Amino acid sequence: MSEEYQKYPMVTADQLRGRRERPKRVKMLTRDFIEDSLYNPSYGYFSKQVVIFTPGEPFDFNSIQDEPEFHRLLGQRYTEFEDKLDAISPNESRQLWHTPTELFRPYYGEAIARYLITNYKLSQYPYHDLIIYEMGAGNGTLMLNILDYIRSTDPSVYDRTKFKIIEISSTLAKLQASQLLRSANARGHASKVEIINKSIFNWDTVVPSPCFFLAMEVFDNFAHDAIRYDPITEEPLQGTVLISPSGEFHEFYSPHIDPIASRYLRVRHAATQGNYPLPLPQSKLIRKLKARIPFMPNLSDPEYIPTRLMQFFDILGKYFPSHRLLTSDFHDLPDTIRGVNAPVVQTRYQRRTVPVTTPYVHQGYFDILFPTDFNVMELIYRAITGKLTRVLSHEEFLRRWAYVEETETKNGENPLLSWYKNASVLTTV
């Protein structure tokens, strides 16, 4: 396909946002292909495919015997939830997933609310309002749990609270608005909430006021670039995908690194002082010996670099200069494809998860989910924003801010603490 590679135009995810059909006869950087697959308004995974599981009534953990029983009850509610959806509209390829906000409602949201109230009172109250931005708010459950808790425990802080959701998906933005009108209890928050239906990457307004910025399980779906290295020279090459007239995908790597990926590589090197994992053996001698073995690949495995995450930090630093970030995400994921910082690529079919081995898959039908290297990410965030940070495990953060007795089972186990062992939390201090 080399001839086609020279001939086909290079397109970006932004250029494809107005298109209703998946593109053909084009080439795209890996990050643009992933962005288009996940967020295109007409066929993107989050625009069209996703349903977020809601378990109904909160679980009464104190009356559950142990974690296996919680797992069984959760499976039961999953089945009931999907049975109801199928009764209205059967769908074998429904993309259904859950979040800790939904599983541990309202306790997880209340822990976040305690963190917000305490830190607001320490540094901003009474001179500033409590302004909370949440990016990628899902069903709007975290927003409601936080506002309910602040209203019931600290009315003076509630009077000063403003909650703003930044949501790229029109479908989810409508769902969040409907959540506010769902009950009399939630309806009382309507004057506190603003839902902004746009991508954070199109943000262009400076917010000078101090604010908290929540990004819960958002980084994992940020687009990444694919980089492979020459094993002898260590020269990086950037990944491009070519889409044929029949919709097939062909990978190419070029030594011409675009300005965004090039800047990421420079910022990372400076921020970490060169201390970060690469898909190359440490020893140059081993690399040279491997290069002489017949049929050995002439490039390293891919490394997936979070260029979109760097751009998000740019937005925070430029437009939210007084922000404090609270973010939770996965530092490790099972069943990833080959490579450093490589994603899980999966879909659901007939209620089963089906993993695949490449990110170049039919756009919109697959979740592409990356782990976050918190060691590197924390240093890049500090370098770009000039702020100080703290990283805790999911369990450490919740032990500090949750009332853990509320999610304890009869035998003393605690799913709120023991689930999501592969997640970490970063906060601005």
In a domain, 255, yes or no: no
In a domain, 282, yes or no: no
Question: Which domain range does residue 81 map to?
Answer: 46-222+308-428
In a domain, 236, yes or no: no
Looking at this protein, which amino acid is placed at residue 427? T
pLDDT at position 86: 92
Distance between CA atoms of 161 and 288, rounded to whole angstroms?
61
In a domain, 171, yes or no: yes
In a domain, 187, yes or no: yes
In a domain, 264, yes or no: no
Torsion angle, alpha carbons of 136, 137, 138, 140, to 10: -160
Q: How many domains does the chain have?
A: 1
Tell me if 97 sits within 8 A of 52, measured CB to CB: yes
Following DSSP, what letter does each residue of 189-233 receive, concatenated? TGGGEEEE-S-GGG------S-EEEEEES-GGGS--EEEEE-TTT
Determine how many CB atoms are found less than 10 A away from the CB of residue 290: 14
Q: What CATH number does residue 412 fall under?
A: 3.40.50.150
Pairing of strands 249-254, 303-305: unpaired
| Secondary structure, 3-state, 136-185 | CCCCCHHHHHHHHHHHHHCHHHHCCEEEEEECCCHHHHHHHHHHHHCCHH
Distance between CA atoms of 13 and 15, rounded to whole angstroms?
5
Instruction: Output Rg (C-alpha) for the chain, integer angstroms.
Output: 23
In a domain, 234, yes or no: no
Distance between CA atoms of 175 and 101, rounded to whole angstroms?
16
In a domain, 99, yes or no: yes
- Quote the Cα angle for 340-345-350, to 5°: 155
Tell me if 61 sits within 8 A of 417, measured CB to CB: no
pLDDT at position 31: 98
Question: Helix, strand, coil % (nearest 5) of the chain?
Answer: 40, 20, 40
Each residue's pLDDT, cut to its tens digit, for the chain (429 residues) gives 889 999 999 999 999 999 999 999 999 999 999 999 999 999 999 887 678 888 889 999 999 999 999 999 999 999 999 999 999 999 988 888 889 999 999 999 999 999 999 999 999 899 999 999 999 898 899 999 999 999 999 999 999 999 999 998 888 888 888 888 887 677 889 999 999 999 999 999 999 999 999 999 999 999 999 999 998 899 999 999 999 999 999 999 999 999 999 999 999 999 999 999 999 876 665 656 565 566 556 899 999 999 999 999 999 999 999 999 999 999 999 999 999 999 999 999 998 999 999 999 999 999 999 999 999 999 999 999 999 999 999 999 999 999 999 999 999 999 999 999 999 999 999
Query: What's the residue count for the chain?
Result: 429
pLDDT at position 285: 58
pLDDT at position 309: 98
